[in-house]
Amino acid sequence: MTATATDLDRLRHALPRDLERSSQHYVVDGVTPAIAFAPNDGSEVAALLHAADEAGLTVAPLGARTATGLGRPLARYDVALDLRGLERVIEYVPEDLVVTVQAGVTLATLQATLREHGQYLPTDPSPGDEVTVGGLLASARSGAWRGHLPAARDLILGMAVALPSGDVVHSGGRVVKNVTGFDMHRMHTGALGALGVVVEATFKLTPLPAVTRTLLLSAANIEACGDLARRVWDASLAVRAITVLGARAADGVMLPPVPAVLVEVAGSPASAERTLRELRSLAPSAGEAPVETWGRLRRLAAGPGATVLRLGIPPAEVETTVAALERSGMAAWAHLAAGVVIARGDIAASEVEALRALAVERGGFLQIEVASAALRKAVDPMGEQERLLVAALKQQFDPRGTLNPGRWGAGL
């Protein structure tokens, strides 16, 4: 089924004329939509979704487009919904450590605003701070800080979501004590835009640490690196990242191409100084690493031009998993506190399936973060674990399959 001229005219009548954009700028997986729009607020998003739903057209919400390789290729793509016009900081109360922003605000813009008041949103998704708030929440990607600091979904106080029904629903609120509807906005976080379009979010914030330092700790081999990383973790130091790097991964972020442990110290001057002393006692050869290393690692986890996998693995087994992936020719690294191993490189569909079986056998998971459309068709990027739940939610919130159809799998 293709969009007819009558269908497209119905969309054009739902929004002001100046919000239409050239569809040629919104190609996803080689597919060009029939039409594209860039609304400026949640009510316009809801109006577009309702018109598309009534016309039987499908909509793909897009922000900075940093995660279009996450999930299966779209089963159908009629309308591109560009959310970058939703770019306002709606309310910021520094003394309450609370901010409300529209979904098109980039994380970089938000962090710059908060930095002026000595605050930040403690999240470090790949590929970097160019992600929009909507994309941050829809993809729920996390980085090296996960396990040391709350996940993005745990920082949300409230959310506004536009639905194909034409409604904009609100959950939570704009104050820390208000937890009404908390599960509702947690549900939309990580849903890949398949249940509704996040148009606004309220976050609780954290003061910026007074001191941040990055240290590179060396050990004899990858196994010794894993042991060293766990000793750092067990010491309960003022750190917000402990990452085990395989040799290929270290080379990929412009460090010496040998296994190592990358540690980010963050805290008050006194706690940071104590932590630095403890780290140097655990690893006497520890040296400073460029602060840019973390940004390079975030970009390495996002492609493009390679397959990127995320595996959930028991923390006791992260170094053996990193070693196995590096032997296969991939660059691999592990964020210890989260029990997550990330690997980047070329890999066949059969190898992905074998790795998934291994991860599941160990009580974990495997997710394809970035891959070609062909690989994402051949292998389920998300796995089977949440399919029944997603199917039930999809039926309730998007029964006609208007939003990102197929991204969670056939019929979803």
Distance of CA 364 to the CA centre of its chain: 18
Q: How many residues does the chain have?
A: 412
Instruction: Measure the CA–CA gap between 354 and 359, rounded to whole angstroms.
Output: 9
**Phi, psi for residue 41 in degrees, rounded to 5:** -155, 175
Alpha helices in 68-118, H assignment, sequence order: 107-115
Quote the pLDDT of residue 175. 54
| For the chain, domain boundaries | 5-84, 89-207, 211-372
**CATH tag, 211-372:** 3.40.462.10
Strand, coil or helix: what is 55? helix
How buried is 345 (Cβ within 10 angstroms: 0-12 exposed, 13-18 middle, 19+ buried)?
Answer: middle
pLDDT of residue 183: 66
For the stretch 91-119, pLDDT in tens is 999 999 999 999 999 999 999 999 999 99
Domain 89-207, classified CATH 3.30.470.10, yes or no: no
Return the number of other C-beta atoms located less than 10 Å from residue 399's C-beta. 11
pLDDT number for residue 181: 47
pLDDT of residue 81: 98
Q: If one looks up domain 5-84 in CATH, what number appears?
A: 3.30.43.10
State the angle between helix axes of 269-282 and 222-234 in degrees (0 to 180), rounded to the nearest 10: 140
The model's pLDDT over 56-85, given as tens digits with 9 standing for 90+, comes to 999 999 999 999 989 999 999 999 999 999
**Amino acid found at 116:** E
* pTM confidence score: 0.93
Averaged pLDDT in 10-residue chunks for the chain of 412 residues: 86 93 96 97 97 96 93 95 97 97 98 98 95 95 93 91 94 59 75 94 97 96 96 96 98 97 98 96 94 96 89 92 94 96 95 91 90 93 74 88 89 75
Task: Fill in the amino acid letter for 170.
Answer: H
Q: Side chain identity at 240, as an amino acid letter?
A: R
Question: How confident is the model at residue 398, as a pLDDT?
Answer: 92
